[in-house]
């Protein structure tokens, strides 16, 4: 079965990466980390944010962007950036595409974006807002890609358990 991919370019904040890792486990999405990282993967903040899900995460590390490209030569990549002309929801995401996000302080380097202007996508924001939190941005775009691909084998129904109010109190 096809599997979506999240790519983090030089992430700096361990809690964001931990949260994203947890989201990847919950959605059967691969996580790709392009170094240098702004933290050690053994940090408590990663474990705290990712909770006990981190052990189940399909994660690959790369020494740099070139290493990532060489090891994923057929990757269809969409680049999340506030500089894009296309809104993320206007794109048709392939079931095995890669959604790439830049580091918290600077985003994806402009030289990379300039090479792929048609694959750059943005999340609309009000006014002069610089950007959304990285883990929120990943969740927004990932769930749009999942929705477009009929949620790729995910649980689509839950079940309420009927309890009397007196039993709960």
Does 137 count as an annotated binding residue?
no
Is 21 assigned a ligand-binding role in the annotation? no
Q: In this structure, are residues 32 and 126 in contact, taking their beta carbons and an 8 Å threshold?
A: no
131 in a known ligand binding site = yes
Burial (CB count <10 Å: 0-12, 13-18, 19+), residue 1: exposed
The kind and range of the H/E element at 7 are strand 5-9
The DSSP annotation for 62-128 comes to ESSHHHHHHH-TT--EEEE-TT-SEEGGGS---TT-EEEE-BTTTBS-HHHHHH-GGGEEE----TT
Residues whose CB falls within 8 Å of the CB of residue 38, separated by 6 or more in sequence, listed in order: 10, 11, 12, 13, 14, 103
3-state secondary structure of 161: coil
Known binding-site residues equal 102, 123, 131
Known binding-site residues for S-adenosyl-L-methionine equal 102, 123, 131
């Amino acid at each position: 079965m096809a599997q979506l991919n999240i790519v983090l370019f030089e992430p700096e904040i361990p809690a964001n990466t931990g949260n994203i890792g947890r989201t990847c486990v919950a959605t059967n999405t691969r996580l790709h980390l392009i170094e240098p990282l702004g933290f050690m993967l053994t940090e408590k903040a990663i474990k705290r944010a990712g909770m006990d899900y981190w052990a189940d995460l399909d994660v690959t590390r790369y020494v740099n962007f070139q290493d990532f490209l060489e090891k994923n030569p057929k990757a269809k990549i969409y680049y999340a950036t506030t500089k894009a002309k296309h809104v993320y929801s206007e794109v048709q995401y392939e079931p095995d595409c890669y959604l790439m996000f830049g580091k918290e302080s600077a985003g994806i380097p402009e030289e990379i974006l300039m090479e792929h202007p048609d694959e750059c996508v943005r999340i609309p924001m009000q006014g002069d807002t610089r950007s959304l939190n990285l883990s929120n941005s990943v969740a927004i775009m990932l769930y749009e890609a999942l929705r477009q691909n009929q949620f790729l084998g995910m649980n689509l129904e839950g079940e309420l358990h009927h309890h009397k109010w007196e039993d709960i109190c």
